């Protein structure tokens, strides 16, 4: 199938009460694992490409790989720019056939975030591409922040409603105590804040930094109404562990295909498990 937009994928997720997974790719092997898991689980899926991935592999290669994967299967696949920070990122992705983009102005002053996000939405509307924005900052797991700094970095529900109104974004990434990378101990997510955001904001909600969030908390986020959940670190970890184990157990094997196959299997299993957890399995 040709790529579908995030809006199309998330409208069904919102209506049927599950979340779609967005999984980051950087190469052929990760993309294959993501799409194979989606096929095995009969799940819609979002393939996410960050500016770092674009720098590593080239947006043309990543888009071409995802396109072949999507056209070879009969499940809905979206190709999405993750954490784009400039019009250049957005334009490059649209030019290469992405169906969705994220513009992350969360580190900018509020008015600049509104203005950049609105520009991307205007372009997205012209090109038929969905747009995700972000309000509130994900504090790094290594950052030592005081309670008041943590509060201040989180998405303000009233401001979120205004942000969505003024920008017209299709989806909003929220900061409720979630972080990128591994958590130290059990995550401290502010579900009351998420409920308030949900009640005030009439657009799809996105939870970034979902690796390492325990299953019960993910279920709660889905039941409150999160529509899209981003996973990267757990897939990276599965890759690293599988390669490390294979190389240590088979020191004489030099064939990259033999080294990478266990990693593909391990990544596919992580993605499939998340699809079952998010409730998107069996939804196509
Ligand atoms: O949230 C960001 C993703 O994990 C992508 O990470 O910027 O290292 O490609 P990256
Ligand atoms: P994790 O690496 O913490 O899973 O976060 C992924 C993410 O938010 C990608 O945008
Ligand atoms: Zn993210």
What dotted CATH number matches 6-278?
Answer: 3.20.20.70
Which residue's CA is the closest to the ligand 1 atom numbered 10? 52
The ligand 1 atom at the shortest distance from the C-alpha of residue 233 is: 4
Q: Is the pLDDT of residue 150 over 90?
A: no
DSSP string covering 119-176: HHHHHHHHHT-EEEEEES----TT----HHHHHHHSPPHHHHHHHHHHH--SEEEE-S
Between CA 66 and CA 72 the distance in angstroms is 10
Looking at the annotation, which residues are catalytic? 82
Task: Answer whether residue 141 shows pLDDT above 70.
Answer: no
Distance 188 CA to ligand 2 centre (A): 16
Quote the CA–CA distance of 158 and 232 in Å, as a whole number: 29
pLDDT of the residue at 144: 72
Distance CA 256, CA 247 (A): 10
Closest residue by CA, ligand 2 atom 5: 209
Q: How confident is the model at residue 146 (pLDDT cuts 50, 70, 90)?
A: confident
Give the pLDDT confidence score for residue 266 in this predicted structure: 98
| Residue in 132, 233, 234, 235 to alter for ligand 2 test, most ligand atoms within 8 A of Cβ | 233
Domain ranges of the chain: 6-278
Q: What pLDDT shows up at residue 142?
A: 62
Q: Count the neighbouring beta carbons within 10 Å of the beta carbon of residue 248.
A: 8
| Tens of pLDDT, residues 160-182 | 999 999 999 999 999 999 999 99
Tokens of 127: 């090109």
Percentage of the residues of the chain whose pLDDT score is greater than 90: 94
Average pLDDT over residues 279-284: 98
Average pLDDT of the residues in 251-260: 98
- Whose C-alpha lies nearest to ligand 2, atom 9? 230
- DSSP codes joined into one string, 110-121: HHHHHHHHHHHH
Q: Above 70 in pLDDT, residue 283?
A: yes
pLDDT band at 147; cut points 50, 70, 90 = confident
- Around ligand 1, the residues with Cβ closer than 6 Å are 24, 50, 52-53, 82-83, 180, 232
Using the atom order of ligand 2, give the atom closest to the CA of residue 236. Answer: 2
Q: pLDDT > 70: what percent of the chain?
A: 99
Integer Cα distance of 267 and 206 in angstroms = 22
The Å distance, Cα 53 to ligand 3 centre, comes to 13
Average pLDDT of the segment spanning 79-106: 98
Structural contact between residues 47 and 78, judged by C-beta atoms closer than 8 angstroms: yes
pLDDT in tens, 68-78: 999 999 999 99
Q: What is the pLDDT of residues 197-252, one digit of tens each?
A: 999 999 999 999 999 999 999 999 999 999 999 999 999 999 999 999 999 999 99
Ligand 1 midpoint to CA 67 (Å):
21
pLDDT, average across residues 11-30: 98
Q: Tell me the best of 24, 138, 181 to mutate to test the pocket of ligand 1, counting ligand atoms within 8 Å of each CB and taking the most.
A: 24
């Amino acid at each position: 199938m040709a790529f579908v937009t995030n809006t199309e994928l998330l409208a069904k997720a919102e209506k049927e009460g599950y979340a779609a997974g967005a999984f980051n790719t950087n190469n052929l092997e990760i993309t294959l694992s993501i799409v194979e898991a989606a096929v095995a689980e009969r799940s819609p899926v979002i393939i996410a490409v960050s500016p770092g991935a674009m720098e590593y592999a080239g947006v043309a290669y990543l888009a071409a790989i995802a396109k072949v994967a999507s056209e070879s299967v009969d499940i809905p696949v979206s190709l999405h720019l993750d954490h784009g920070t400039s019009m250049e990122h957005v334009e490059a992705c649209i030019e290469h056939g992405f169906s969705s983009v994220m513009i992350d102005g969360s580190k900018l002053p509020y008015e600049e975030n509104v203005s950049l996000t609105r520009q991307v939405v205007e372009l997205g509307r012209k090109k038929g591409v969905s747009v995700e924005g972000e309000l509130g900052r994900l504090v790094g797991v290594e950052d030592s922040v005081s309670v008041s700094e943590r509060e201040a970095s989180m998405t303000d529900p009233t401001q979120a409603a205004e942000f969505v109104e003024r920008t017209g974004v299709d989806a909003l990434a929220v900061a409720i105590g979630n972080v990128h990378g591994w958590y130290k101990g059990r995550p401290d997510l502010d579900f009351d804040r998420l409920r308030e955001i949900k009640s005030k904001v009439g657009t799809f909600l996105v939870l970034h930094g979902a690796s390492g969030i325990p299953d019960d908390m993910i279920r709660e986020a889905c039941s409150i109404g999160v529509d899209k959940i981003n996973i990267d670190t757990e897939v990276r970890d599965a890759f690293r562990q599988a390669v490390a184990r294979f190389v240590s157990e088979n020191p004489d094997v030099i064939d990259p295909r033999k080294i990478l196959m266990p990693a593909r299997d391990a990544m596919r299993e992580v993605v499939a498990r998340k699809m079952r957890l998010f409730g998107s399995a069996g939804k196509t």
